[in-house]
Amino acid sequence: MPDYGRFCPVALGSEVFADRWTPLIVRELILGNTRFNDLARGLPGISRSLLVQRLRHLERMGVVELWPSPTGRGHEYHLTAAGKDLEAVVLALGRWAVEWLFDDLQPHDVDPVTLTWWMHRRVDESRLPPQRVVIEFQHTGPTRQAIWMVLDRGEASVCVQHPGFDPDVLVTTTTPALAEVFQGYDSWARAVATGAIRVDGPPRLVRSLPRWFLWSPFADRTSARVARSPRGQGLLDDRSAVPAS
């Protein structure tokens, strides 16, 4: 790891936090991912060896600590008090990027599995129905793929194979359209009204489904930024012209 010197607090903090992938690893831990495979799944593009290296560095720096796994096999990664204190730094970094790097953001640059994985971490457990609900997401493009999300007793899981339960709600959409809603470039209501997202199922579940998700932590700020951006408005206009099927 680089040595920036120890006179300046910013330099010292950068030795802990400013390496490539480290802020994203901390983001995943803040969002509640504690197992190695879940961390890797939330970070498409990082090699497993580099993830191990970064986690060991964070452990040495007192940001992460290892807990025994409840299953009795292996261990979990949890933020220490110092690590939890970095949440404000991560959120500030994201808000800064939305404000000042907006034109460089690529809301469509995500695959169906990664998008669904991000969504399942942003489920509002307090708003879920008491019974198990299975959502089938039919992504019609650019990659055609079916993915299922099982919401049961306050827990959410993502399945790339049929989970063995009949879907209660079917969501048909393109991946970019759903990504724009998640990121805050568009609203669920507008995407449904324009046909970019189609939802089939019992009316009670169809109406309540968007309230089950908290969406991106930066969705509100992104929505405000879109309202001030010709590029953002153009993205929404282009997206609304693409049918869901």
Question: 107 lies in a domain?
Answer: no
Question: 184 lies in a domain?
Answer: yes
Domain edge (last residue) among 46, 67, 100? 100
Domain edge (last residue) among 46, 77, 100? 100
CA distance 179 to 54: 28
Tens-digit pLDDT profile for the chain (245 aa)?
Answer: 567 677 899 999 999 999 999 999 999 999 999 999 999 999 999 999 999 999 999 999 999 999 999 888 889 999 999 999 999 999 999 999 999 999 888 878 899 999 999 999 999 999 999 999 999 999 999 999 999 999 997 789 999 999 999 999 999 999 999 999 999 999 999 999 999 999 999 999 999 999 999 999 999 999 999 988 875 556 555 555 545 44
Supply the pLDDT for residue 232: 57
Does one domain contain both 94 and 135? Answer: no
Nearby residues of 130 by Cβ (< 8 Å), 6 or more positions away = none
Does one domain contain both 33 and 58? Answer: yes
Q: How many domains does the chain have?
A: 2
In this structure, what CATH number is given to the domain that contains residue 146?
Answer: 3.30.1050.10
3-state secondary structure the chain: CCCCCCCCHHHHHHHHHCCCCHHHHHHHHHCCCCCHHHHHHCCCCCCHHHHHHHHHHHHHCCCEEEEECCCCCCEEEEECHHHHCCHHHHHHHHHHHHHHCHHHCCCCCCCHHHHHHHHHCCECHHHCCCCCEEEEEEEECCCEEEEEEEEECCEEEEECCCCCCCCCEEEEECHHHHHHHHHCCCCHHHHHHHCCEEEECCHHHHHHHHHHECCCCCHHHHHHHHHCCHHHHHHHHHHHCCCCC
CA distance 184 to 215: 8
Question: 116 lies in a domain?
Answer: yes
Name the amino acid, one letter, at 2: P
Does one domain contain both 85 and 138? Answer: no
Does one domain contain both 57 and 164? Answer: no
Does one domain contain both 137 and 226? Answer: yes
Does one domain contain both 44 and 147? Answer: no
Q: Looking up tokens 């680089």, which residue turns up?
A: 2
CA distance 145 to 142: 9
> Burial of 187 by CB count in 10 Å (0-12 exposed, 13-18 middle, 19+ buried)?
middle
Does one domain contain both 47 and 124? Answer: no
Does one domain contain both 117 and 235? Answer: yes
In this structure, what CATH number is given to the domain that contains residue 88?
Answer: 1.10.10.10
Does one domain contain both 92 and 116? Answer: no
Question: 206 lies in a domain?
Answer: yes
Reply yes or no: is the peptide bond before residue 142 cis, omega within 30 of 0.
Answer: yes
User: Do residues 139 and 128 lie in contact, with contact meaning Cβ atoms separated by under 8 Å?
Assistant: no
Nearby residues of 9 by Cβ (< 8 Å), 6 or more positions away = none
Q: Looking up tokens 């449904």, which residue turns up?
A: 192
Domain edge (last residue) among 100, 125, 142? 100
Question: 211 lies in a domain?
Answer: yes
Question: 2 lies in a domain?
Answer: no
The most distant pair of C-alpha atoms in the chain lies apart, rounded to whole Å, by 62
Does one domain contain both 93 and 175? Answer: no
Does one domain contain both 159 and 183? Answer: yes
Domain assignment of residue 146, given as a range: 112-240
